[in-house]
């Protein structure tokens, strides 16, 4: 159970008693990759520039969440957040915020890593604490097939640069898809052990723009853990609200995470909320309804008015998604438009 801290407005509680502590902010719907499980090769419609929140608008909303509504960590995502010019400036603005009891806001980033070798140091010095890099294959030909870009080495260099600059932890997100990259699970485990990075294996979710996801393509987290445990023995690590179930190598060589969003949803423990690059507030990755914050923000709403809207939206948060059930409704936005 989360300890509820006192803020002027918050905390953000829903009818099931869950408290939101983590805010995911998408800062762009654009990307320099075209991962097959996320974006189509061509034809993606992007939001016009003026529809994206500016850094100043993002910071105003983040300040409200952090100072008034109990949010303790912010993760920047997209699309690919590093394609937004001067990202370090936003990191600087956000990392200057602190919670009412004086703790600095924890700012992290999810990136495809393609430009991290160039930017890791500046981002770190601008206040970035931690980074998750997405990487689904360690084989150049397959990396190209999945991302439709031939830049595996850039991503590997980016991961090394992130570790070298002191971002901590550096995690590597691997979406495992049946008959696509499941044969690399052990290679990834070995890579993570060698580099000192935590590999987080993510179950494939029905958020691909192509709409071709099937349950048969999901490799259950349990199967992933069993495959690794057979070669590198593991033990479970007790965990709280975070979605990854963590497993530690018995020989002390680090740990892995698995994110069983499909086979074992963690909705009952969910502590996160989201905002898209256009300022739509979502209480769930799979939410089919959203709250527009950009309109009121640009229309002169006060902080108290914005806070009331946000609190009402969180209060109505549903119990959870229903992937794999007959009544599951796919959200109209795909992963890159929401912010994963």
**Residues binding ligand SAM: what is the number (CB under 6 A)?**
20
* Binding flag, residue 77, ligand SAM (CB under 6 A): yes
C-alpha distances (whole Å) from 249 to each of 92, 179, 246 are 36, 26, 10
Q: Among candidates 60, 126, 59, which has minimal Cα distance to 89?
A: 126
Between residue 85 and residue 144, which ones bind ligand SAM under the rule CB under 6 A?
110-112, 134
* Binding flag, residue 38, ligand SAM (CB under 6 A): yes
**Cα 120 from Cα 142, distance rounded (Å):** 26
The contact pattern for ligand SAM, residues 278-307, with x = CB under 6 A and - = no contact, is ------------------------------
Q: Which of 71, 155 has the CB closer to ligand SAM?
A: 155
Go through 64-89 and write b for each residue having 16 or more CB atoms within 10 A of its CB, e for each that does not: bbbbbbbbbbbbbbbbbbbbbeebbe
Which range of residues in 58-66, 86-94, 198-206, 284-292 is near ligand SAM by CB under 6 A?
Answer: 198-206
DSSP category for residue 103: P
- Choose which of 254, 260, 265, 340 interacts with ligand SAM (CB under 6 A): 340
Residue 302 buriedness (CB in 10 A; 0-12 / 13-18 / 19+)? exposed
- Choose which of 39, 76, 107, 275 interacts with ligand SF4 (CB under 6 A): 39
Tell the residue number behind the tokens 């069983």, with chain if given.
260
Which spans of this chain sit near ligand SAM (rule: CB under 6 A)?
31, 37-38, 77-78, 80, 110-112, 134, 173, 175, 202, 204-205, 207-208, 335-336, 340
Which spans of this chain sit near ligand SF4 (rule: CB under 6 A)?
31, 33-35, 38-39, 78-80, 112, 134, 335-336
């Amino acid at each position: 159970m989360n300890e509820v801290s006192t803020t002027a407005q918050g905390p953000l509680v829903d009818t099931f008693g869950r408290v939101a502590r983590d805010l995911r902010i998408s800062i762009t719907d654009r990307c320099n990759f075209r991962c097959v499980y996320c974006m189509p090769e061509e034809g993606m419609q992007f939001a016009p520039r003026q529809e994206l929140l500016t850094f100043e608008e993002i910071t105003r909303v983040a300040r409200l969440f952090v100072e008034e509504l109990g949010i303790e960590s912010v993760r920047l995502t997209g699309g690919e957040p590093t394609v937004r010019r001067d990202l370090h400036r936003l990191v600087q603005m956000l990392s200057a915020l602190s919670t009412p009891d004086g703790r600095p806001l924890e700012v992290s980033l999810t990136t495809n890593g393609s430009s991290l070798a160039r930017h890791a140091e500046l981002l770190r010095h601008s206040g970035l604490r931690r980074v998750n890099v997405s990487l689904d294959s360690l084989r150049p030909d397959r990396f190209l097939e999945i991302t439709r870009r031939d830049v595996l080495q850039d991503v590997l260099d980016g991961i090394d640069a992130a570790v070298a600059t002191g971002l901590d932890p550096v995690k590597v997100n691997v979406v495992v898809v049946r008959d696509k990259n499941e044969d690399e699970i052990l290679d990834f485990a070995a890579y993570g052990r060698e580099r000192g990075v935590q590999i987080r294996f993510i179950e494939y979710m029905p958020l691909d723009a192509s709409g071709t996801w099937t349950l048969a393509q999901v490799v259950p987290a349990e199967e992933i853990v069993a495959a690794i445990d057979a070669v590198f023995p593991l033990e479970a690590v007790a965990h709280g609200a975070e979605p990854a179930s963590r497993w530690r190598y018995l020989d002390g060589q680090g740990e892995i995470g698995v994110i069983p969003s499909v086979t074992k949803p963690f909705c009952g423990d969910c502590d996160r909320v989201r905002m898209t690059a256009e300022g739509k507030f979502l209480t769930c990755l799979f939410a089919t309804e959203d709250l527009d914050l950009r309109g009121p923000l640009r229309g002169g709403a006060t902080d108290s008015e914005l806070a009331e809207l946000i609190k009402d939206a969180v209060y109505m948060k549903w119990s959870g998604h229903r992937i794999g059930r007959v009544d599951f409704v796919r959200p109209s936005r795909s992963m890159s438009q929401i912010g994963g």
